[in-house]
Structure 1
Amino acid sequence: MTRLSVNVNKIATLRNSRGGNNPDLLKVARDCEAFGAQGITVHPRPDERHIRYADVYALKDIVTTEFNIEGNCQEQKFVDLVLNIKPHQVTLVPDALGQLTSNHGWDTIANKVYLTETVKKFKDQGIRVSLFVDPQTEMVEAAAETGTDRIELYTEGYATKYTEGKEASIADYVKAAQTAQKVNLGLNAGHDLDLNNLAYFAENIPGLLEVSIGHALISDALYFGLETTIQMYLARLSGIKTAEEIPAEGEV
């Protein structure tokens, strides 16, 4: 089954809005794991507006599943952080300074030399590397030439078009995933995946190893509770209906 990694950035955002330690980021991470999540993701940014660099060090000591750190490897502070922490996986994202949220993948053709050197730097320390890419076959092929272990497909385009037509929205992602298999790349995905569109994506993307979900999952937890929400996301990935989705006797 595709693994679920919970991005806890939004928990840090809520904590930071009032100061103090409520909600407790470390407790939430532990609870996510206890409730079935197979990984924890963080995406520290230079201004530390959500995840702080100190949080990443603290999480290293308590995360027992897979620890994934996302970020902009063009920031030396981020590179130093990852090399010190040595997480299971680093996901390299081409963010600009002060960017609100990630909104595009790497141009792996134009940046192939730089990415090859950077990927090697992390892999030499035993860290699995994933490159954030758009669903374009040429970008996937060039990503493989950098030596990266995996790619993470940027899924906002799929999520935006999903309600207009599922088949059309996923077509480019299927092609990208098939290309990843041909060039022996592991495949992750993330950005705007949610309870409405996740199951279809997981069912139709070959070789999908992991999804990283934060904003939608934490938002859903406000209604359903964190434990129930994680179980619902895991169910979407496994194709199993949860109790909330099974009609009561006599209902259509």
Structure 2
Amino acid sequence: MSAAKHPRCALSVNVNKVALVRNTRHLGIPSVTRAAELCLAAGAQGITVHPRPDERHIRASDVAELAALMQNWPQAEFNIEGNPTHNLMDFIRQYRPHQATFVPDTVDQFTSNAGWTLPQDMAVLRPLIAECRALGVRVSLFMDPRPEMMAYVAELGADRIELYTETYATAYGTPEQESVLAGFVAAAQAAQAAGLGINAGHDLNQDNLTRFVAAVPGLQEVSIGHALIADALEVGYAQTVQGYLAAIARAA
């Protein structure tokens, strides 16, 4: 898949939580592919999935169906994230999405909660990044906002980082908001200086998104799942996606 281009920060919708609800019954509803299609029709520029080995939400069959769906949306990007030492690379080799986001979670981890530690993880990551690049797949590393790590990411040959934004989301609306945000700005500046692209995700929502997009330089993509799907339960996919796109646009 060739990489799509977007004039401003792109919105990639993570549909894991749709699969989580679906998996509580054996009826096939709600449909993950239908959710993705409705989000794309509403203007989302990408779809993200995180297929874990235990298939507690996204299943291998979902990845196959979404890869097929994305062929009908050439202007949008497909991002598959996960731990490349678990099951992620099998999906990357088979479907060759636009982007592979490497996340250092454990098999039974509740949710992603930390970025890679460099240089300690470099030996494991280097050949896997090289393989993705050889397949024509862009690589993004899930990283904490630590400026000193960015040169290591570039040395590994990754294309982008995804800033882990939970600390910003927790601090939003508190006296610590701007000081925490400054840490993300510094990390993004270091990433830019190292020649890296910048993504972000985790606990971003319609309230805190605009300030983050406005402040963080070079932000190319936000991946949002939990809050977006929760909002969609109340007002539907289309209105929710349009709300997040408006939050991004207000940052301009």
Instruction: Please indicate the TM-score interval, normalised by the length of the shorter structure.
Output: over 0.9
- Unpaired runs of 5+ residues, structure 2, are 1-7
SS at match of 2:119: coil
Structure 2 match to 1:85: 95
- Indicate the structure (1 or 2) with the bigger Cα radius of gyration: 1
Structure 1 match to 2:105: 95
Once the two structures are superposed, what CA deviation does each residue of 1:164-218 show, in whole Å capped at 9, x if it has no partner?
A: 1331120110000000110110000000000110000000000000000000000
Matched-pair contact (CA < 8 Å) for 1:88–1:128: yes
Q: Which of 24, 35, 47 is matched with 1:28 structurally? A: 35
What percentage of aligned pairs have identical amino acids?
51
Structure 2 match to 1:6: 13
Q: Which amino acid aligns with 1:86?
A: R
Task: Give the distance between the partners of 1:19 and 1:135, measured in 2 at CA.
Answer: 40
* Count, aligned residues: 240
- Unpaired runs of 5+ residues, structure 1, are 242-252
Structure 1 match to 2:23: 16
**TM-score computed with the length of structure 1 as normaliser:** 0.93
Summarize the Cα distance change of 1:187–1:240 in structure 2 as closer, same or farther, 3 Å threshold. closer
Do structure 1's residue 46 and structure 2's residue 88 form an aligned pair? no
Matched-pair contact (CA < 8 Å) for 1:119–1:129: yes
Q: CA shift at 1:79, angstroms?
A: 1.1
Task: Give the distance between the partners of 1:19 and 1:198, measured in 2 at CA.
Answer: 35
Matched-pair contact (CA < 8 Å) for 1:113–1:146: no
Out of 203-212 and 141-150, give the one that drifted further: 141-150
- Give runs of aligned pairs for residues 73-152 of structure 1, distance below 5 A: 73-75=84-86, 77-152=87-162
- Would you identify which runs of 4 or more consecutive aligned residues in structure 1 move more than 2 Å? none
Q: CA shift at 1:240, angstroms?
A: 7.4
Matched-pair contact (CA < 8 Å) for 2:81–2:88: no
RMSD: 1.2
Task: Give the distance between the partners of 2:239 and 2:210, measured in 1 at CA.
Answer: 17
Q: Which of 192, 196, 210 is matched with 2:221 structurally? A: 210
Task: Give the distance between the partners of 1:78 and 1:54, measured in 2 at CA.
Answer: 14
Do structure 1's residue 196 and structure 2's residue 203 form an aligned pair? no
